[in-house]
Structure 1
Amino acid sequence: MEPFITLTHYDIPQELELRYGSWLDPQVREDFVHYAEICFRHFGNRVKFWTTFNEPNVQVILGYRKGTYPPSRCSMTFANCTRAGSDIEPLVAAHNIIRSHLAAVNLYQKKFQEDQRGKIGIVMNTIWLLDPVVFGRYPREIKDILGEDLPKFTKDDLKSSKNGLDFIGINQYTSRYAKDCLHTTCELGQGGSRAEGFVYSNALKDGLPLGEPTGVNWFNVYPQGMEEMLMYATEQYRNIPLYVTENGFGENNTGVLLNDYRRVKFMSNYLDALKRAMRKGADVRGYFTWSLLDNFEWISGYTIRFGMYHVDFDTLERTPRLSASWYKNFIFNHIAQSKDNEDA
């Protein structure tokens, strides 16, 4: 077993939220670096893979634009609340997260990496935010749209961004159509936001879904999206090593079966797409399925199940599904095949 550690997954100490508003204040950068240094110092002899954040792009959208995740800040017309400014606060929170990431990576690379011989990166859901992490600058298009509302990087940030990560983690489940609402006409409520470049995304086009719908409202099965996303990341971000840090199939509680043949089909097709991307040149170093066990899925609670092992939430009994046996055999067969190729 090789630990692959995430420092931050959406959550932050409530004390920092109360004291200065957490990700909305530049002070969070210093506190995050202090926290990261403690982790590097005490666990770095055992941890060789670090990620600073998991899906900060989702975190800022849900926490600061739509308000559906903590700290639940949003404003009309983005959601039914009036606690903050949904146009500006996601930019501020995202900027402070990026600055915190760059500072933590810079610390690790200068102080710990040579002795501990580890790697450090960041994990993104397959939407915006990677350009400033990799290149130390925002895309020209978003600068044109946001103007002076777009936060600025300091000289220290720009120095840190020259080696801003050793790898990129990608969480890939589903795909969407994208519509340009800046230069074409969109229906009322479909304009996205300035922070997202006035892009409207949806899984439907002309009433037809992109891929097979599942029991999860945001999730359609579209294996081609895996290959396309990996190739985009390879071409856009200088062939930086990639890890697929999440990929899995979810079902509603009511539709869960131990014979989860749909999950097996999903995994087989998405892994085939991953293999195609690798053959085209994508430097994919690892793959993680979500998830080993049914668990607590954020605001969906226990109503959605992603596990290869069924969990009885009353007794905590764990029962392997068909996908667990399939994946075990898949791994075993490919390890054996790799050894045969090496021997040959």
Structure 2
Amino acid sequence: MKHELGEPAAGGNGMAPAPRPDLAIEARALVKRFDGFVAVDGIDLEVPRGSIFGILGPNGAGKTTTLRMLLGIIDPDEGLRRTLGHERPHEIAHRIGYLPEERGLYPAMKAFEAVAFLGALRGVPLGEARRRARALLQEHGLGYAADRQIRQLSKGMAQTVQLLGTLIHEPELVVLDEPFSGLDALNQGKLERMIRNLAERGTTVIFSTHVIAHAERLCERIAIIAGGKVPFVGDVSEARDRLPPQVRLETRASDGPWRAALPADARHEGSFWHFSLAEGGPEPLLRALIEGEAGILSLSIERPGLHDAFVAIAGEAAAKALEETPESLEPGKDR
């Protein structure tokens, strides 16, 4: 049963809370089943307006299903969702830009016509859409290709054209499903800059990805999704802070009383020791190394990356599935 505004929310005893104006997305206990299979299993999300929010997870985790529920393409079987304050997102489609994972442009269309067509579908008058389309293509370095057919463009250029068609109606919320899939490093960098520029203008951007580096570079907040569940939603820094800093130590002496200062699980690889920094900080360690005449050749303390945090939060199996997710999938395959 779906919970609409004014009805009891899942697991609550009272009325659903009023929409929060500071949030572009609110999701409470969302559930979606397909033929008895639970694709999304009770997830909660909050996406602040004007932020870049990443949904990070492997193939089959439920990313695409979640995005489609938030967009109103499909309805949840249970739970409460609000997109830009509305519980029926399809009714405010003109305020949203959506780039699906399955790309689709008419091959015979000229690039500017494809962008204008997508704008017209979102309510921009056709003449204005054509003007905006040429201006957008020029702004993003594709003015020379405005009159080329889509079939004549490279994959990266065609994807940029479709992305511009997603933005032409100047949406408040932009949702991108695996936008980096299949792009080379140059075009990935261009897309990252576009996403940052959108956020600087106050647009909310949500994107799904299986590539940790994109989420780590772009996002302040992320949701980690695995097996249809979301074990973590929060700041990237908060996810990384779940693990202690890691020490990399090289000493002149191979043994001595200083060894008692290293934790029991310290690993000796080559000429370096690797271990987690104790809660007391580096001072007790340094004191023990100096007093024990370890002869410090090098010592570095590094904060764990998002990959390490993902493993700790979602587990080794989910991390392995993340790494094995291919760059492109068959159309319609859920991510």
Q: How high is the TM-score relative to the length of structure 2? A: 0.27
Q: How high is the TM-score relative to the length of structure 1? A: 0.27
Specify the structure having the higher radius of gyration (Cα): 2
Greater RCO (Cα-Cα under 8 Å, separation 6 or more): 2
Point out the structure with the larger strand share. 2
